[in-house]
Structure formats: structure tokens, C-alpha cells
Amino acid sequence: MNKILLIIQREYFSRVKKKSFIWMTILVPTLFIGMYALAGYLIAKGDEMGEIQNVLVIDENGSFKASLKNTPVIKFSYSDKSYTEERKAYFESENYDYILRIPSSLKEVQILGEKKPSAMLAGTIEGQINELLKNKKLRDAGIDPKILADAEKGIDIEAKQITANGDKDAGTSAASILGLVTALLVYMSLFIYGTQVMRGVIEEKTSRIIEVVISSVKPFQLMLGKIIGVGLVGLTQFALWIVISAVLTGGITTMMAGDKMKEIAKTEQVSAAKAYNTNPEVAAMQEEAPEDTLSKISKQFESVSIPLIVFSFLFYFLFGYFLYSAVFAAVGSAVDNETETQQFMLPITLPLVFTLILSMSYIINSPDSPLAVWLSIIPFTSPIAMMIRIPFGVPAWQLILSMVLMVGGFLFTTWVAARIYRVGILMYGKKASYKELAKWFFYKE
Amino acid sequence: MSIKSIWYFHGMLSIRHIVKQYAGQRALDDVSIEIEKGQIFGLLGPNGAGKTSLIRIINQITGPDSGEIFFNGEKLNQSHIERIGYLPEERGLYKKMEIGEQIIYLARLKGMSKEQALKKAREWFIKLGIESWWNKKIEELSKGMAQKAQFVSTVMHDPELIILDEPFSGFDPVNVEVIKNEILELNQKGATIIFSTHRMESVEELCDSIALIHKSKKILDGRVRDIKKVYRNNTFLLEYEGGKISVDTMAPFEVVKETDHGDGHNMKLKLKDNVTANDAIHYITSRTQITGFRELIPSMNEIFIEQVNKIS
């Protein structure tokens, strides 16, 4: 036992001290959060930074006078002069960038300018004109604008779960997000740390230190020590990622918490809502909508049991990792270098990739279908499938069965892997085939 | 009988009827060897004879299919691992780990405490003049340097039994002497040494006893002195100055081979029955000036070849 601890220590510290570990630990959250911050900043700031386009409206039809709404980047002005006159004046005047010509027939509405108008500009104007036309036609037909506004209102279905303690919010957006994120994390970490175990085994084999080490400890102790050591490296990296992300997010939020940013964010929401709804009443009603959705999602998050998710994440990460890394270790022991591992990688990665693809398309939409249930119970696929399902609520018996099978699967796989490993690490220059591996499995001590 | 002689009586390592079979191939076939405490023992034989298989069984890296091994009178078990030092034929250390740290790690795997290991490692590094390598990584060292470090890791924990597989391969001649002397010193301090090699001439003058392994079978074992006694064939080498002497039928020996090397002659001769070397020298001194006279003892290589021919 003492010796396993020593091995764990070496495996752990030799990795944690590596420059690549330190860089990965710092860079991953920095890049991710940096990217999000930058994207958020650009979106918030984008309109402001964009040049304001002045559009001169020549309304030959006459029904659009002063009814096109300015946006942060588009300013409308109106002219009573004829198109030909304005066209002549266009190059002399610096006051506007485009001319919007609305002919009386409303056919062939044109936007003209020195530069090509952006799709956004054209789209916004198009939307506004269509909206105005639609409203006008409906009003002309004698429909009350209030009814119009009412008709615009979208209906959201609120999902509620009936429990003994009253109805619980059961919206699925938060569950989907949580499920996907945690499943993806498990998927990635199985690969990242599993291959680290495999590389470690190959390194020991190719550097030939293996024989020295296993003249002091049992091959199984070495394998287990390596697996646990690398697993702890994984947990450390996760913990550091979370801490660094929290610190960075905190820092960025304070940085952006200046009044100015808040203001921008607010006007941004409002104007975005307004841009497509020229009818003031409709716009006013929709202004509240984004806040509503946000609070709904955050309420959903509250209804999901975070401790359960954290616990299952740790459980499925650890045992999934143990199970797969044992297989990775066996593969590492069977080959002389990393390129030879390819023939064995496909069957290992197949269940994982298969489950992930199914997770994103199928399980997430029908988390209680028989296929989803089975995938979340079978040990090789359950770490991913179950993480997807948990936020939606999983019957206790399924969770327990899945976890028991997971532990059982881990023990069985480790046993099989260890039998291959102990022979493989001493085999050199022998091209390992599946038949060969099976033979090794049946070797006596 | 002193305590030492009781151990001596039991033997350090008693290998009894070991059989090891690898898929379709017998690596060891009923091999029995006795190694006494304090001996330098040579496990000799060509590549692929089964030496490494036997060593791996002694180190409990693999187990035998049948047969038993006794270590100091006890059935070999995990507790003996810490009392054995093993230098495998394929040398290797962690490439990216600092040497000092690595040697301490390996010593701790053999059951030493951190403090003990640190103290001992420093002693060895100073002794071999390699203190300055402490913080170097193996990948920064030459092959010979890495071998020295590996030797230290083999003997760090003061093992009672030191097993060296092809001990001198990879060392330059100067370092071979350094390592040889260290091994002899450890032996004088009481360690039992097993040399395993296919280069029999490199260890035969060091060994007290040997076993010859050929095609997974032990074909000969015993004390070197006794074996040589059996295999000596009364052949001597005579060196003398001056002209070639004529040997008549009265001579107590037969000439096997004569060579002229300019300044004098060499003669390989075989004594007739019931005569001694003295008789031969007496016969020669009256005829020429002797510059050298010694018995030609067959080398282990020659004995090995003779033995192989005998059994096949």
C-alpha cells in the first residue's frame, strides 16, 4: 500500500510540475473566458463602434413620413425633394450615406449609395417597412391596434413538475445546458487523462525502466498507482480551472461593472427589441421579454439539484476514468510506441463517441426513452449518457443500478486490463494482435 | 559451527526444479542451482538460453510453472524483494526525471526511508564522483553516465543478493574497472553476487561458481576450481629462447603445436600419463633456456563448447 502511495506521488508530481501542465491549467480558462468576454464586449460595443449610417428617405408614396425608427447605427432623415434632385446633390452633400427611395407604387424600393449597403442595413429597413405596411393594411381593414399588439404576443408554455411539496419548475433549458456541459466535460476528461495514462505506460516501456520498477512492486500496483496519480492530476486541473475561471469572471465583471457598460447593455436590450417593432405598444410589451426568459432559466437552475449533479459528475468522471484508463493502460502495455496504438483505439473510443453523438441529438430530447435509459446503465456508455439525463431527473433505482454496474465494470475491466498489462510491459518487438492479447490474458503468473 | 557457516550451509539461493513455459516454447526446463552466501556466481550461457527468464523468476517479476526457490532457507516471497538488487540487461530510467530524485524514488520502492535513501545516495554519488549529476535529467546524460546512475540504484538499499544481467555491456573499459571494483567491494562486505552473461570470458576470473545454461537446461554447474580440475587436460604452454629444440620419444610429453615468434619459440605440450609438470621442465631445462611455462586451463567458453558437444 505504501508503495502504491509512492507511485501515486511520483505520477502526480512529475505531471503537475511539468510546464505543459501549468500552461494548460492557466491557458484553457483564460482563453475560454477571454473569448467569451471579448465576444460579449464586441456584441455590447459593436453597435456603438459601428459607424452611424445616415439614410435619406425619399418617400414618394407618402405613408412613411417620420415613421421609420432610428436605431443606434441607422439614422433616418426625410426629404421632400424629388429623387433626381437628391441624386444630383448626393455627391456634394456629406450629410448622408444612402438614399432610400420608396416609389409611390411601393414596387422596387431602392437603397442607393456610394458604398454597397450592408445586409444588416438593408434587412433592418426591409423589416421596418414590411411591419409598417402590414400594420397599415390591418388598420385600414378596421382592426384595432390593441388587438394587433395582443396578437403579437407569443405564448410560452411553463413546464411544471408535480411533486408532493407542490409544483416544481420543470423547464428543460437549464437541464439541457447542464447535461450537455457535464457530459462533454466527462467525455473530454476520459480522453485527455486516459491517453495520459497510456503515454505513461508506453514511456515506461520504451525507456525500459519498467523492469526495474516491477522488480520492486507488482505490475498491478504500478498500474493502479499510475491511474490514481493521473486521476488526481485531472481533479487538480479541474479544481484549478474552476478557481481560475471564477477569479477571471469575477475580475471581468467588476471591470465591466462601470455605469457605462450597464447603460450600454440596457439600451442595447431595449433598442434591439425596438428595432423590429415599430409599433410603440408592441415594442413596450416586448421590452420586458428578455428579462423574463433569463429569470425563468435561472429559476430552472435553482430547481435542479446541484449537489446531485456535482456528486454524479465526480462519480462518473472518476469511475469512467478508472474504467477507461485501465483499458488505455493495457493498450499502452501492448505496444512499443504510440503509433501502434491506433488499431486498439477505435474500439475504445467508439462507445464514447457513439454515446456523445446520441446524447446531443437524441438523449437530450428524450431522456427517458428506453435507449437513453439503457445507455445510462451500461458501464461503458453511462458516464456520458447519465450526465445528460441527471438534470432531467432520473429514478433512484436507475441511478443506483448504473452506479453499481459502473463500479462492477471498473473492477472487471481493471482485472482484465491488469492481466494483459503484466505480460505486455515485458514484451518487446512483438506485434500485438487481439489474439496475442487474449493469450496474454490467460498466462499464468 | 558459527552463524555464518550455518547460513553457508543453507545457501543463499536454492533454485529447485524450475520449469517455465511460454506459449509454445520452454524457457526453463527443470533447472536446479544452489548459490552459497558470499559467492560470486556466474550464470552463463548464450543469448536466449533462459538466463533472463530465470532471473525474472528470482526477482518475482514472473512466476515459475513449477519448482521452488528458497531465499536464505525461506520460500521466496514478496518480503525478499527488498533484499535483492537487480540490474536488468535492458537498462532504463525515467528520461525526464532528475537523477537524484529518481534514485531516491527507486530506493524508496525498495523500502528505504527518504532520509536513509538521501544519505546513501549522496555517499554513492561522491564515491563514484558523480555528485554534479544530481539535478541532471537522464536525457541529458551519456549512455555510460546513465549506466553508472543505474548501478547506484541497483545497490542503494544494501541488498544481500545482487543480480547483474550483462553487467559490463555499455560501459567503457575504465568504467568497467570502476564498477568491477565496486562489485568486489560489495562482495567482500558480504553481498552475494550473480552475474548473468553470454560473454563468459568477461566474468570467469571473478566467479567462485558458475552454472552453464543451454537451450533452457542447466548443462553444468559447480565451483570454477572444481570444473577446471575436471576439464584440465595436462596441457602446458612452454616459451623458450634460441633455436628449435628437438623432442625425442623419451620425452615425458607429446608436442601438440609449435610456433616460432622470431625471438624464440612457443610449444603447446600435453603430459604423458603418470608424469608431472616437473618431469617435463626437467627434460626441457637440459635442452634450452625456459622463459615461460604455464598450464593451459580451458576457458569457460571452451568448456561450454565441449559440454554442448558432449550432450548432443
CB contact under 8 A, B106 and A216: yes
Least confident of A70-84, A247-261, B293-307: A247-261
Q: Do residues B267 and B279 both lie within one domain?
A: yes
Check pLDDT > 50 for residue B86.
yes
Q: Are B176 and B275 in contact (CB under 8 A)?
A: no
- % of residues, chain B, pLDDT over 70: 97
C-alpha cell of A56? 435619406
Count of structural domains, chain B: 2
Q: Do residues A427 and A325 both lie within one domain?
A: yes
Q: Do residues A363 and A399 both lie within one domain?
A: yes
Disruptive mutation site among A216, A221, A422, A444 for chain B (greatest number of B CBs within 10 Å): A216
Q: Phi/psi at B98 (nearest 5 deg)?
A: -70, 145
Is A49 an 8 Å CB contact of chain B?
A: no
pLDDT at A285: 46
pLDDT at B4: 44
C-alpha cell of A343? 488499431
Check pLDDT > 60 for residue B9.
no
Q: Are B41 and B195 in contact (CB under 8 A)?
A: yes
Boundary (domain end) residue, out of B229, B255, B285? B229
Boundary (domain end) residue, out of A142, A157, A191? A142
A294 vs A191 pLDDT, higher one: A191
Q: Do residues B250 and B140 both lie within one domain?
A: no
Q: Do residues B171 and B287 both lie within one domain?
A: no
CB contact under 8 A, A212 and B110: no
**CB count in 10 Å sphere of residue A252:** 17
Distance CA B169, CA B198 (A): 11
**CB count in 10 Å sphere of residue A397:** 8
Q: From B150, which residue of chain A is nearest by alpha-carbon distance? A: A212
CB contact under 8 A, A215 and B93: no
Domain of A281 in residue numbering reads as: 2-39+171-442
A345 vs A402 pLDDT, higher one: A402
The alpha carbon of residue B153 is apart from the nearest alpha carbon of chain A, in Å, by 9
Check pLDDT > 80 for residue A445.
no
Provide the CA A95 distance to its chain's centre, in angstroms: 45
Q: Note whether residue A342 is domain-resident.
A: yes
Is A297 an 8 Å CB contact of chain B?
A: no
Element (H, E) at B195: strand B192-197
Q: Do residues B167 and B284 both lie within one domain?
A: no
> The CATH number of the domain where B46 resides is what?
3.40.50.300
pLDDT at B6: 45
Q: Note whether residue A67 is domain-resident.
A: yes
Alpha helix stretches (DSSP H) within A168-305: 173-206, 210-214, 219-256, 259-275, 280-287, 289-303
Check pLDDT > 90 for residue A302.
no
Q: Do residues B153 and B40 both lie within one domain?
A: yes
Work out the average pLDDT over A310-332.
91
pLDDT band at A284 (very low <50, low <70, confident <90, very high): very low
Count of structural domains, chain A: 2
Distance CA A255, CA A261 (A): 9
Is A5 an 8 Å CB contact of chain B?
A: no
Q: Note whether residue A189 is domain-resident.
A: yes
Q: Do residues A181 and A267 both lie within one domain?
A: yes
Q: Which residues contact A99 (CB under 8 A, 6 or more apart)?
A: A55, A56, A58, A83, A86, A87, A90, A110, A111, A112, A113
CB contact under 8 A, B109 and A217: yes
Which residue from A329, A49, A353 is spatially nearest to A194, judged by alpha carbons? A329
B92 to chain A: which residues are within 8 Å by CB? 207-212
Minimal Cβ distance to B110: which of A207, A216, A444: A216
C-alpha cell of A198? 497510456
CB contact under 8 A, B88 and A215: yes
CB contact under 8 A, A215 and B81: yes
Element (H, E) at B136: none
Q: Do residues B44 and B190 both lie within one domain?
A: yes
Task: Please provide the average confidence, as pLDDT, over all residues in chain B.
Answer: 87
Work out the average pLDDT over B178-182.
91
**CB count in 10 Å sphere of residue A10:** 22
Q: Note whether residue B306 is domain-resident.
A: no
Disruptive mutation site among A5, A211, A333 for chain B (greatest number of B CBs within 10 Å): A211
Task: Please provide the average confidence, as pLDDT, over all residues in chain A.
Answer: 81
pLDDT band at A348 (very low <50, low <70, confident <90, very high): confident
For the stretch B171-176, contacts whose Cβ atoms lie closer than 8 Å and that sit 24 or more positions apart, written own/partner, are: B171/B144, B171/B147, B172/B144, B175/B144, B175/B147, B175/B148
A208 to chain B: which residues are within 8 Å by CB? 88, 90-92
Most confident range, picked from A292-296, B81-85, B260-264? B81-85
Q: Do residues B76 and B88 both lie within one domain?
A: yes
User: What residues of B are in the A interface, CB distance below 8 Å?
Assistant: 23, 56, 59-63, 65, 81-82, 84, 86, 88, 90-97, 105-106, 108-110, 150, 153
pLDDT at A169: 58
pLDDT at B1: 41
Q: From B83, which residue of chain A is nearest by alpha-carbon distance? A: A216
Q: What single DSSP character describes residue B191?
A: -
In angstroms, what CA-CA distances link B98 with A206, A210, B103?
A: 18, 17, 9
Q: Which residues contact A135 (CB under 8 A, 6 or more apart)?
A: A145, A148, A278, A279
Q: Do residues A344 and A412 both lie within one domain?
A: yes
| Residue B11 Ramachandran class (φ > 0 left, ψ -120 to 50 alpha, else beta) | left
Number of H helices, E strands in chain B: 9, 14
Minimal Cβ distance to A445: which of B59, B62, B86: B62
Distance CA B35, CA B53 (A): 17
DSSP for A52-113? PEEEEEEESSSS-TTTSPP-SSEEEEEE-S-HHHHHHHHTT--S-SEEEEE-TT-SS-EEEE
Q: Note whether residue A314 is domain-resident.
A: yes
A302 vs B252 pLDDT, higher one: B252
CB contact under 8 A, B93 and A207: yes
> The CATH number of the domain where A73 resides is what?
3.40.190.10
**CB count in 10 Å sphere of residue A280:** 12
Least confident of A260-264, B61-65, B111-115, B134-138: A260-264
Q: Do residues B194 and B244 both lie within one domain?
A: no
- % of residues, chain A, pLDDT over 90: 24
Check pLDDT > 80 for residue A252.
no
Q: Note whether residue B304 is domain-resident.
A: no
B88 to chain A: which residues are within 8 Å by CB? 208, 211-212, 215
pLDDT at A324: 93
Q: Do residues A35 and A61 both lie within one domain?
A: no
Q: What is this model's ipTM? A: 0.81
Q: Note whether residue B158 is domain-resident.
A: yes
Minimal Cβ distance to B95: which of A207, A212, A445: A207
Q: Do residues A287 and A190 both lie within one domain?
A: yes
Q: Do residues A271 and A396 both lie within one domain?
A: yes
Minimal Cβ distance to B23: which of A210, A214, A439: A439
Q: Note whether residue B45 is domain-resident.
A: yes
Q: Which residues contact B121 (CB under 8 A, 6 or more apart)?
A: B100, B103, B104, B107, B152, B156
Q: Do residues A319 and A218 both lie within one domain?
A: yes
Work out the average pLDDT over B39-66.
90
Q: Do residues B249 and B223 both lie within one domain?
A: no
pLDDT at B7: 44
∠ CA B11-B15-B19 to the nearest 5 degrees? 175
Q: Do residues B182 and B292 both lie within one domain?
A: no
B294 vs A271 pLDDT, higher one: B294
| Residue A323 burial (C-beta neighbours within 10 Å; 0-12, 13-18, 19+) | buried
Q: Note whether residue A147 is domain-resident.
A: no
Element (H, E) at B25: strand B25-35
Check pLDDT > 80 for residue A78.
yes
Q: Note whether residue A45 is domain-resident.
A: no
Q: Note whether residue A252 is domain-resident.
A: yes
Is A19 an 8 Å CB contact of chain B?
A: no
Chain A to chain B, count of Cβ pairs less than 8 Å apart?
62
Domain of B39 in residue numbering reads as: 3-229
A211 to chain B: which residues are within 8 Å by CB? 61, 86, 88, 90, 92
Q: Which of residues 207-246 of A touch B (CB under 8 A)?
A: 207-217
**CB count in 10 Å sphere of residue B76:** 22
Q: Do residues B101 and B162 both lie within one domain?
A: yes
Least confident of A211-220, A224-233, B260-269: B260-269
A215 to chain B: which residues are within 8 Å by CB? 59-61, 81, 84, 86, 88
Provide the CA B219 distance to its chain's centre, in angstroms: 16
B23 to chain A: which residues are within 8 Å by CB? 439, 443
Distance CA A279, CA A135 (A): 8
Q: Note whether residue B129 is domain-resident.
A: yes
Q: Note whether residue A432 is domain-resident.
A: yes
Q: Do residues B225 and B238 both lie within one domain?
A: no
Q: Kindly report, residue by residue over A138-187, the tens digit of the pLDDT.
A: 888 888 777 777 777 666 666 666 666 666 555 567 777 888 888 888 89
C-alpha cell of A73? 447605427
Q: Kindly report, residue by residue over B192-242, the tens digit of the pLDDT.
A: 999 999 888 877 788 999 999 999 999 989 998 888 888 888 889 888 887
Is A390 an 8 Å CB contact of chain B?
A: no
Q: Do residues A302 and A430 both lie within one domain?
A: yes
pLDDT at B153: 92
Q: Are B175 and B144 in contact (CB under 8 A)?
A: yes
Angle between helices A382-389 and A306-334 (to 10 degrees): 170
Q: Do residues A124 and A22 both lie within one domain?
A: no
| Residue B178 burial (C-beta neighbours within 10 Å; 0-12, 13-18, 19+) | middle
CB contact under 8 A, B81 and A3: no
Q: Kindly report, residue by residue over A225-242, the tens digit of the pLDDT.
A: 999 999 999 999 988 988
Least confident of A20-29, A284-293, B296-305: A284-293
A176 vs A425 pLDDT, higher one: A425
Q: Do residues A131 and A183 both lie within one domain?
A: no
In angstroms, what CA-CA distances link B52 with A318, A322, B8, B76, B154?
A: 39, 33, 26, 18, 17
Which residue from B11, B44, B41 is spatially nearest to B208, judged by alpha carbons? B41
The alpha carbon of residue B150 is apart from the nearest alpha carbon of chain A, in Å, by 9
- % of residues, chain A, pLDDT over 70: 82
C-alpha cell of A445? 503468473
| Residue B202 burial (C-beta neighbours within 10 Å; 0-12, 13-18, 19+) | middle
Provide the CA B260 distance to its chain's centre, in angstroms: 35
Least confident of A72-76, A138-142, A296-300: A296-300
The alpha carbon of residue B92 is apart from the nearest alpha carbon of chain A, in Å, by 4
- Asked whether the CA dihedral B234, B235, B239, B242 is positive or negative, the reply is positive
